Amino acid sequence: MSYTIGFTGKGGTGKTTIASIVIRYLAKKSPVLAIDADPNSNLGDMLGLTAEDTVVSIIDDIAANIENLPAGVTKERLVESRVQQSLGEGEGIDLLAMGRPEGPGCYCYPNSLMRGVIGKLEKSYKFIVIDNEAGMEHISRRTDRKIDYLFLVSDPNAYGMRSAKRILNLAKELKVSIGKSHLIVNKVRKDLPITENAVGDIGADKVSFVNESMDLLEFSLKGRPMKELDEGAEIVKMIYKICEEAKWQ
């Protein structure tokens, strides 16, 4: 049985960066399926991986050439086959990218197919890590029906924390199954420390604080993947500690 870890939060909080470091930690232990469910795909860049194609582009291509389907092969089966072939492969990590519609298309069918594909792929991985798009759209569409461990990532201000609270409340209203929720307050400045009391009543099971990182700023400016970040860097050690304390099985 695989264990699913999700990341969500408003844009600019650093959720994809933290997700990539968590994936790096997990890949040392067991195979990881990393799912970039954000249309503004950045997870692959952070991991230093490239998916050959995206779920949405595969669906669009098959739909545009539906008359050329091989005899006896359903559209769903062809999508599954091509999605599996599209995975970006790394050391202990496979990357699945959702992609974005070219126009104002609905994500309902891609989301439904992605859930089916994940259901079949997950047997090959101990851990599945999903980097969701910013905001609440993925939850309102119920892309994630079950999350064993949900990270809500916020920057150290009221806007990010309000967004995290709304996301968690919406997930509960929609009865999305969440095993445990964990708020990470990211980019905390050492000269302006905040305490857990300042977070307010968000409702997460656990709260952690991660300091602002000059290492990450340098990597972002150069567009370097997180896998190249030294494990002795403060940000890596802080995220690894969060992972160790989570005691994922």
Buried b (16+ CB within 10 A) or exposed e, 127-152: bbbbbbbbebebbebebbeebbbbbb
pLDDT confidence of residue 97? 87
Dihedral sign of CA atoms 19, 187, 134, 197 in order: positive
Closest CA to 96 of 125, 118, 123: 118
> Dmax over Cα atoms in the chain, in whole Å?
66
Enter the tokens of residue 178: 């969440």
The answer to whether 204 touches 152, Cβ cutoff 8 Å, is: yes
User: Half-sphere exposure (CA, 13 Å, Cβ side) for 37?
Assistant: 34
Of 130, 185, 177, which is closest to residue 159 (Cα–Cα)? 185
For 210, other C-beta atoms within 10 Å of its C-beta total: 22
Gap between the Cα atoms of 12 and 144, Å rounded: 21
Q: Which domains does the chain have, with CATH numbers?
A: 3-246 (3.40.50.300)
Instruction: Give, for all 249 residues of the chain, the pLDDT tens digit.
Output: 789 999 998 888 899 999 999 999 999 999 999 988 877 768 998 999 988 888 878 878 877 777 777 777 777 778 778 888 888 888 899 998 887 755 555 556 666 666 777 777 777 899 999 998 765 555 555 455 678 999 999 988 888 888 888 888 888 887 788 899 999 999 998 777 676 666 777 889 999 999 988 888 788 777 788 888 888 999 999 999 999 999 886
Using CA atoms, how far apart are residues 129 and 32, in angstroms rounded to an integer? 7
Which of 43, 35, 215 has its CA nearest to residue 125?
Answer: 35
Rounded CA separation 249/113 (Å): 27
* Half-sphere CA count of 21, side-chain side, radius 13 A: 23
Residue 98 · residue 56 · CB < 8 Å: yes
- Could you tell me if 34 and 23 are in contact, meaning their C-beta atoms sit under 8 angstroms apart? yes
pTM for the full predicted model: 0.87
Nearest to 43 by CA among 156, 120, 128: 128
Alpha-carbon distance of 85 to 125, in angstroms, equals 16
d(CA 122, CA 39): 22
In this prediction, residue 183 carries a pLDDT of 94
Residue 149 pairs in a beta bridge with 5, 180
